[in-house]
């Protein structure tokens, strides 16, 4: 989203996400979608979604779940932006990105690669670039996360998650609410 001369990141997507499915019900987007790295995009006509909803109830449920998951992530971001200091907000964002990338097989045992820049991170956590630089330095100094040249490395996940107040339950990737079948 943009307001005057500032951008505000209000979400991010990982490969396989259905971006802004809620526009099917709303009939329009009320914000911009910006890409910060290479993407492959497919458009799905509303008529095709309506047909799936009528003919394939299981897929309709998955599409509905995708929309509800986006809403859960938005609520978490709103809450954390209000509650946390800039270093903790960034830690929370890193923890979420790492979990979500792992869910699609793109995370590493010690972090993840990303096209995010320091300016993008500032936009995502509602901070100035200078404040973001200081917050990233604080995370590095505390041994929580190291961000440089498209890489985020994290030595101790539990320590980062505790520091930033991150609990992954709102992502519905594990436990009895998971959509994944345990085999």
Q: Concatenate the DSSP letters of all residues of 36-101 into one string.
A: SS--------HHHHHHHHHH-HHHHHHHHHHHHHHHHHHHHHHHHHHHS-HHHHHHHHHHHHHHHH
pLDDT tens string 19-32: 888 888 888 777 77
Mean pLDDT calculated for residue range 56-61: 92
The domain containing residue 46 runs over which residues? Answer: 9-171
Global confidence as pTM:
0.86
Instruction: Report DSSP state, residue 9.
Output: -
pLDDT band at 2 (very low <50, low <70, confident <90, very high): very low
CATH number of the domain enclosing 145: 1.10.10.10
Q: How far is CA 42 from the centre of its chain?
A: 20
Write down the pLDDT at residue 27.
Answer: 81
Mean pLDDT (the chain) is 87
Q: Domain count for the chain, please give it.
A: 1
182 within some domain: no
78 within some domain: yes
Lowest mean pLDDT among 57-71, 93-107, 139-153, 156-170: 57-71
183 within some domain: no
Mean pLDDT calculated for residue range 150-175: 91
181 within some domain: no
Mean pLDDT calculated for residue range 85-99: 95
pLDDT tops 60 at residue 134: yes
Write down the pLDDT at residue 56.
Answer: 95
pLDDT tops 90 at residue 3: no
Write down the pLDDT at residue 153.
Answer: 98
Rounded Cα gap, residues 94 and 152, in angstroms: 8
pLDDT tops 60 at residue 162: yes
4 within some domain: no
Alpha-carbon torsion angle 179, 33, 91, 169, nearest 10: -20
63 within some domain: yes
pLDDT: is 139 or 178 the higher one?
Answer: 139
Write down the pLDDT at residue 4.
Answer: 58
143 within some domain: yes
35 within some domain: yes
């Amino acid at each position: 989203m943009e307001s005057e001369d500032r951008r505000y990141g209000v979400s991010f997507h990982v490969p396989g996400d259905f971006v802004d499915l809620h526009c099917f019900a709303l009939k329009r987007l009320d914000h911009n979608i910006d890409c910060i790295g290479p993407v492959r995009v497919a458009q799905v006509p509303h008529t095709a979604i309506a047909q799936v909803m009528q003919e394939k109830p299981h897929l309709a449920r998955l599409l509905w779940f995708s929309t509800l998951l986006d809403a859960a992530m938005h609520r978490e971001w709103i809450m954390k932006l209000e509650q946390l200091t800039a270093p903790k907000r960034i830690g929370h964002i890193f923890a979420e990105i790492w979990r979500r990338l792992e869910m699609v097989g793109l995370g590493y045992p010690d972090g993840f690669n990303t096209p995010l820049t320091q300016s993008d991170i500032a936009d995502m956590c509602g901070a100035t670039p200078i404040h973001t630089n200081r917050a990233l330095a604080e995370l590095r100094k505390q041994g929580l996360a190291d961000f440089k040249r498209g890489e985020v490395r994290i030595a101790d996940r539990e320590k980062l998650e505790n520091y930033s107040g991150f609990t992954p339950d709102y992502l519905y990737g594990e436990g009895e609410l998971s959509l994944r079948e345990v085999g």
